[in-house]
Amino acid sequence: MAVPSCKKSFFKFWWNSEMNELNEKSIASCRMWKTAGRPRCGPIFDRYRRDKAAYRHDIRSKQRNEKEINTNDLHEALIQKQGKTFWICWKSKFDSCRRPVGIVDGSTDERAIAEQFAHHFAKACSSNTVLVQLGWKLDTNR
């Protein structure tokens, strides 16, 4: 309960010290630009735009490379016909740990769980106005 769970794609394995430097440089030039009154031209603005562009470009290129690396690893494992290696690589990149719901409100029977959901949503989605419950149709064209 105390340890948060994250998706496999949450952590950026490609993040390195160079990325940290670009990030810090971008943040510093942004702060300087804001302190200077957010000018739209001049050396402060040029430095801010250049640092921000370099940082964003590096992020995008690393994300692009991440997809290529995954594809190449899978391709190599498949070409070499290493079934076990292929599936280990596949699961590490794409496997989701979705587990079916086993207990809902103390019930473990699938039929009872389905009935509980049906009852809950029937109650939640029912109309709460007296006119509609009595079968009157409201004319919204008038």
Residue 74 lies in a domain: yes
**Structural domain harbouring 124:** 99-142
Residue 5 lies in a domain: no
Structural contact between residues 69 and 57, judged by C-beta atoms closer than 8 angstroms: no
Number of domains composing the chain: 2
Residue 11 lies in a domain: no
Residue 2 lies in a domain: no
112/137 same-domain check: yes
Q: Would you state the pLDDT for residue 102?
A: 73
61/124 same-domain check: no
Q: Would you state the pLDDT for residue 49?
A: 95
Question: pLDDT truncated to tens, each residue of the chain (142 aa)?
Answer: 555 566 655 666 667 788 889 999 999 999 999 999 999 999 999 999 999 999 999 988 887 777 666 666 667 766 776 677 777 766 776 666 666 667 777 878 888 888 888 888 777 776 656 555 555 555 555 4
Taking each helix axis from N to C end, the angle separating 17-35 and 43-79, rounded to the nearest 10 degrees, works out to 160
112/67 same-domain check: no
| Residue 100 vs residues 43, 82, 97, 103, 112: alpha-carbon distances, Å | 57, 30, 10, 9, 15
Residue 28 lies in a domain: yes
Q: Would you state the pLDDT for residue 123?
A: 77
35/22 same-domain check: yes
Residue 120 lies in a domain: yes
C-alpha 1: how far from chain center: 21
Q: Would you state the pLDDT for residue 65?
A: 77
CB count within 10 Å of CB 51 equals 21
62/110 same-domain check: no
Q: Would you state the pLDDT for residue 70?
A: 63
